[in-house]
Structure 1
Amino acid sequence: MTDDRIYTPHKAIRGIADHRVDHLAVSEPRSRLTRLARIWAKRLGTLTPEQLDHSPGDGWTIRQPAFHLTKSTYCADAVGDLS
């Protein structure tokens, strides 16, 4: 019993799990972006200029989305400053 309330075990476990998820959610976006940046840097760093400028089909070259993404701040701007 807490604060004159009685919780079922399921309700207590769900509350603890949700609280944990909230704490993890604070660091996950930064961690995910850091991992993604490392993957991109490592992959792009292995390619020659010719490979970067090659298009595997009718679409963009590999270089084009890499530089396009560095300028893509629309979603981050929509969220705003979280500091």
Structure 2
Amino acid sequence: MTDDRIYTLYKAIRGIADHLVDRLAELEPRSLLTRLARIWANRLGTLTPEQLDHSPGDGWTFRQLAFRLTEPMYYADAVGDPS
């Protein structure tokens, strides 16, 4: 019994599971961004300047793609100060 309430085992387990899912939903995007940034840095770090300025097809060069990554700051600005 907690706070004058009696919980069944399943209710308690469901409450803990919900809490874990909520924290994971908060943590996972942060760790995903960290992992993706590391992958990009590792991949771009292997390219020569000539390779960076080359496009394997009709699209942008790898250097242009890297600079394009700064544009998602729009989303951060749209959210504003989270504090």
Q: Same fold (TM over 0.5)?
A: yes
User: What is the distance in 1 between the residues matched to 2:32 and 2:47?
Assistant: 23
Consecutive unaligned residues in structure 2, runs of 5 or more? none
For 1:22, the equivalent position in structure 2 comes to 22
Consecutive unaligned residues in structure 1, runs of 5 or more? none
Q: CA deviation at 1:24?
A: 2.8
Q: CA deviation at 1:40?
A: 0.7
1:10-36 deviation digits (Å, cap 9, x = unpaired): 443222111012223333332221111
Q: CA deviation at 1:6?
A: 5.4
Of 68-77 and 20-29, more deviation after overlay is shown by: 20-29
For 2:80, the equivalent position in structure 1 comes to 80
Runs of at least 4 residues of structure 1 off by over 4 A?
Answer: 1-10
Report the TM-score when normalising by structure 1.
0.76
User: What is the distance in 1 between the residues matched to 2:62 and 2:33?
Assistant: 19
For 2:41, the equivalent position in structure 1 comes to 41
Report how many residues are paired: 83
For 2:62, the equivalent position in structure 1 comes to 62
